[in-house]
Structure 1
């Protein structure tokens, strides 16, 4: 027996492939017709269900027939009405073959018996037509009215005469339904008012309403595939512009702008809110807590306080920050201190390992043992479980690239809690962050930013030369991105100020040379600016939309800290998993979503004098907050960092 699902899949796939390879490349220089007329033809693949045994008043066969199938022709005259690009209607009037052959049965005399049918109908099929987005692809659905034309059958049985006759008790009219999809391929010239369209289609006619006879239970389901030919009459239109679907070669011209900082800051004291990953990652081949995590003795734990981690240390803004990682590597001690200070708080440790849930549970058990033995936490306050994959895995079904890095990030223990003393709904059940005071060197707003619009589309590469008053030239590049930045202190070197001529030199993808010029003044401010604020949000693997889960945090915590006249610097980062181009776009999307949420909040609060400097830096190693050697570093690199600066 042929599976109806397999047949539907084959027909649908075939039609979709046909539609995909057909694209319209004609510019619209005339209006599309509202009325279309034409013909259609195709094949009905019919499937029989139910029972038939009394063929007519004079013939009751000894063995009942139950299932069958067959292919018969379909043809129709059609009319379509399309008042707009999206909605419309269509009507088919035609011949509808529903014949086929029942599967052979064995009569009581041990004689094979066959039954073939040649039923057909005059079909009337009005449908509602819907074209998503107003394109060539459309869907249709509506009722079907069938008026019986033929009801012949042919019955054969071994050792008996053949019988060719007509079924009795046939329903003169059947009312059922149908739904399908199609694609209009325009083959007439775009300038012609007479439009000619070829439209492949496929539809499904379910069994309900298709009881063939008023006796017994024989019913028919049909999959129809075919092609319609349509003609319509449009009208000439006058347009000043020319529209084409073919790719347009980008212009060779690009715009070039240089954004220089007001002053170049050598240092900034920043009050930073550092989010804590609620994960502890385990190494392959061992269930012991990795040595990179800070493990205390009982005596050391008695004196440990989370506030100790807020002490001032130096860290760079654009380089790797051992300071932040050191705070994170104290995550077990932070949990122990918070649970010790809040006796009502409880946690669940959920361990995950591809080697099995038992090893995942062992990860969690070792963490629990540490908290119980060292911080004297009541074991009843810590629940543990094991899993094969973590609650939010990095490895996705069907993925086959960089699996070693992804699986290293999935070999971990998730720390879960509903206690507000431990967790903060900053997104994804993130742990309550740690407040830090940090002196940062070379902040991002001390960089000179070069914006080269269309560079990625137009240029194969470009370089930037900076010439000072004495004629000394500094060369940077080659670059390919739309935006690049260079630290101001790198350009100045030993000088405290300087004026520079800026020259961009590049080559277009067609091989043509391009040159743009500008100028910039730079000056260093030696004293520290002590009113910087920093917040970070973290993302799960490949998730830019996770920023929506931080909306409340951005609106209620970050936005109120932004004063009129401030500058908000937002930069997005990713880890090294994935292509460089994809990661650049992903980080930019993350950063700009955060900006949009903050801008909306500031507008609602009546703050309009705020400047945003937003960019996506992707996986750029010279700008990423951390290395990418461990899962912790890669997770922390999936971030958007928000700096709020109020200049004195």
Structure 2
């Protein structure tokens, strides 16, 4: 950057190298290009008034300035580094020659009703031009002896001229006077005024940056010169002419249109209402500005740091007698009657014959085997019957669509009949819209939960929890935390944290805003707990809004594995823990029903056999809603279970309870079943391992 600052002031109007439609400026290692232009670039004039700032004018091969230069058309590089263009702002005149503007204004009496709008519109243009432009004004005049002898025209004409001046105050006062009622002309002298304006422009130096603005209703009622003479004079101009035809009764005035469009980069505007004048002059002011201030900088790449909060992750694997709650709902995709692919389905009765529900190990697989668990129980208990209640989300295509609800229930019934050979008279189908206890219909998650078939039975054992021995994994620390420092000077697009076991990616957490701390509940990308790993490696990748990326070096979390084997209970040091999971709570509810009361009786029975035990009650919930509310909801669920245990005879001093909210879910909240299964309370009853 020092080279750029030192070199450029020595050649304030340097001519850049022409390369087709690209112009480049080499200054040792710095290059400036203007690219992707509609016309071929001839040269660029520029100065470097401040650090990271260039003021330039871009001219085509005919020397006509570009009126629009965009950020994506400018490239500045220094060696192999490319600058980021921050802004391109139009300026009036800060390099080379001064911007010269000639205003030809119709101040005939026909303009009397529109004086306010006219003066406001001209003021808009003068504000844009600022004090660094020179302005000349030509108007009609029949006062002061009526005649004005202009040598340029070699005739006496009814005009008045304010010659070129940078004093915008003088221009404003002049315009104000000519548009006062007493100074309006009775006739129009358009052709004479145009010729005078053209001659004033032509007497300027050839390289002067000039534009002429003509405002008129197109009428001429008294000029000494003809339209043909105006066209002839305008035929060879090398500056831009803008015409504003203010007429309510016709299309464009041919003369005004011809001289404007015949000039380099000229434009013809038309207004039929006074209210249209200000927008036209506003647009015109932007067209006239041909110099641009370019601010830029060389981007700083993103960088950052990440550090795991602990020293070692301790993973304890224990076998625990477990009762998995029966979630007796089959969920469906939107407007679908097909059993979802996530469910584990057999293709034939022969394949189903070898199924044993006690051999299902993973918790979610117990749910995905729902139809097989219930099917096998119905086959064993020939007196049991089921009712299948088909439901919809009752919005959109599913609104009041009981036919869809019935077809969903029929799909479940067909599976029981075909795969498990359950007789049709043991299956009853009911169709309704929303379930009797619906989830919220105002969220996508709630709608997904309402698209279901509920299975109920006249025999309790059909829907009893699934009892099994499973491996339970616990962690220390219970929640892992990564401390992060994310720095993206150009603006952050995203940063992501990835953790691996060998080549297997365990997590990929992506964020769009910086965070000082990111938590990990030790669930992998599939929602399963991380275990059987010797170490975990992790890193962080930062990407800024321009696509530049930074990745931290890989770091390692040492993992200590502890395995403890028991039969139907969990061992921890000298304490045995039995675990109980309550029947699932309805959405946004903490009320305990009769089934949960029966399960709590089992907890009380363990207490009576082991009076020295301790009872730990943990409440959970899904992630719908605010985190603070969910923490309170899970605490209420745990407290309800604690209070009922106390009523059943377990002393308060034996019970501790806690709500986990959504921060440590048992299952992933990404699916309806995961959210339902998280609406629960788990109870651990611990007693000395040597107790009878």
TM-score greater than 0.5 by the shorter chain: no
**Higher helix proportion, which one?**
2
Which one has a bigger Cα radius of gyration? 2
**Higher strand proportion, which one?**
1
The TM-score with structure 1 as length reference comes to: 0.41
